[in-house]
Amino acid sequence: MDRDKFVKLAHGSGGVEMHKLIESLIISRVEKKKVEGGLGIDYPDDGALIPMGNGEFLVISTDTYTVSPPFFPGGNIGTLAAAGSINDVLMMGGVPLAALDAIVVEEGFPIEDLSRIVDSMLFVFREEGVAVIGGDFKVMPKGSVDKVIINTTVLGIARKPIVDVPREGDKVIVSGHVGDHGAVILLLQMGVGERVEELEKGLLKSDARPLTRLMVPLVEKYGDHIRAARDPTRGGLAGVLNEWAKAAGKVIVVDEGKIPIRRPVKDYAEMLGVDPLYLASEGAAVLSVDAAAAEEVVEYMRGLGFEDARIIGEVRGSERYKGYVLLRSTVGGYRVLEPPTGDLVPRIC
């Protein structure tokens, strides 16, 4: 069987295979890739900017959530669906205003569980002041879909849109620990979750949460200095940095010792043979910021309650390593941090 003729799990994991498939299947076939003056799939992402003619932009982001299992320490697929799409709007510089949802559920799925999921999703939207203005609901025959899938589309307004292209000299900042969500889902999918003491005691859980209280004031105060922003979901921190390096045509150098990773995340990832830099986060932000303002931005983030925010690297010009990410190890050597490939943790979000 020619594997290149069939869809694989790797095509949905946020790595090299997915980007190649989307480019050949969709992007290369679309003639009009954006609204004039805005941002669309000319710069591939799950969000877009549409100019409103008054200096502001309508921000739209859509995402489909298929996480397995649908319930996990720190939340469930409903929490994830609301927070994830809110964060996507925030990372484009928008203030989230309204949402639509579409739910596809398998025949036989317990209504009590479905109610818990919907309650979690609506709770997040309510707490964030996001109106739920429409949606759709479908049921598939048993075995046609695995449990439940949720799509959320969030709309917002941006006065200082972030176009997501780092510049040479920028500093790379993370808002806090990375890899939490991916580590939790990986342990559950591997069937060892019930034997992980940190999960049982609540010391390790998904970080799924909206980043509104970070990004809205940050963009308002420092929006002119933020060149790129992303939440490192599928593909993790490594995925974001590689996409940025390629888009900017620069080399990004990061310091391994400065990347905040919780000890349980690092330990269990290493035990399972996984690099935690490829594990998803659902409540962290990665920023590329003008070097002149970077230290001030970090202090401001800490003042907003993100105490673990820090500078982890910088964007440099290099013909030799253009488009690459270099990781400086704790012992001083360098290695190339490759873009994510394969299905490291399938159905993670």
Give the per-residue pLDDT at 286. Answer: 98
Half-sphere exposure of 79 (CA within 13 A, CB side): 17
Give the per-residue pLDDT at 27. Answer: 76
Contact between 14 and 239 (Cβ < 8 Å)? yes
CA distances from 16 to 19, 250, 314, 342 (A): 5, 18, 23, 8
Dig out the tokens for 99 from the structure: 């949402």
pLDDT for residue 193 is more than 70: no
Measure the CA–CA gap between 99 and 132, rounded to whole angstroms.
5
Give the per-residue pLDDT at 133. Answer: 98
Contact between 280 and 182 (Cβ < 8 Å)? yes
Give the per-residue pLDDT at 195. Answer: 66
pLDDT for residue 258 is more than 60: yes
Q: List for the chain the helix, strand, coil content (%; round to 5).
A: 35, 25, 40
Phi, psi of 178 (to 5 degrees): -115, 155
- pLDDT, tens only, 81-111: 999 999 999 999 999 999 999 999 999 999 9
- pLDDT, tens only, 132-172: 999 999 999 999 999 999 999 999 999 999 988 899 999 99
Measure the CA–CA gap between 158 and 94, rounded to whole angstroms.
4
Indicate the fold that domain 171-336 takes in CATH.
Phosphoribosyl-aminoimidazole Synthetase; Chain A, domain 2 (3.90.650)
Mean pLDDT rounded to a whole number for the chain: 91
- pLDDT, tens only, 270-311: 888 899 999 999 999 999 999 999 999 999 999 999 999 999
Nearest to 64 by CA among 153, 133, 124, 3: 153
Question: Which amino acid belongs to residue 301?
Answer: M
Measure the CA–CA gap between 125 and 25, rounded to whole angstroms.
33
Beta strand segments in the chain, E: 47-51, 57-65, 71-72, 75-76, 95-106, 131-140, 148-158, 171-174, 226-230, 251-255, 286-289, 310-316, 325-328, 334-336
> In percent, how much of the chain has pLDDT > 70?
96
Give the per-residue pLDDT at 48. Answer: 92
pLDDT for residue 246 is more than 60: yes
pLDDT for residue 247 is more than 60: yes
Would you place residue 200 in the very low, low, confident or very high pLDDT band (cuts 50, 70, 90)? low
Would you place residue 44 in the very low, low, confident or very high pLDDT band (cuts 50, 70, 90)? low
The residue ranking higher by pLDDT, 328 or 11, is 328
Give the per-residue pLDDT at 273. Answer: 87
Give the per-residue pLDDT at 13. Answer: 67
Nearest to 265 by CA among 320, 198, 172: 198
pLDDT for residue 15 is more than 80: no
In 3-state terms, what secondary structure has residue 285?
coil
Measure the CA–CA gap between 95 and 215, rounded to whole angstroms.
9
Give the gyration radius of the chain's Cα atoms: 20
9's CB contacts (< 8 A; 6+ apart) are 343, 346, 347
Contact between 349 and 80 (Cβ < 8 Å)? yes
The CATH number fitting domain 3-158, selected from 3.30.1330.10, 3.30.420.10, 1.10.10.10, 1.10.3720.10: 3.30.1330.10
pLDDT for residue 22 is more than 80: no
Give the per-residue pLDDT at 1. Answer: 44
Residues of the chain with CATH 3.30.1330.10: 3-158
Q: Please give the distance of CA 209 from its chain centroid, rounded to a whole number.
A: 11
- pLDDT, tens only, 213-234: 999 999 999 999 999 999 999 8
Q: Which range, 4-8, 51-55, 268-272, 300-304, has the best average confidence (pLDDT)? A: 300-304
Measure the CA–CA gap between 234 and 80, rounded to whole angstroms.
13
Measure the CA–CA gap between 279 and 182, rounded to whole angstroms.
5
Residues of the chain with CATH 3.90.650.10: 171-336
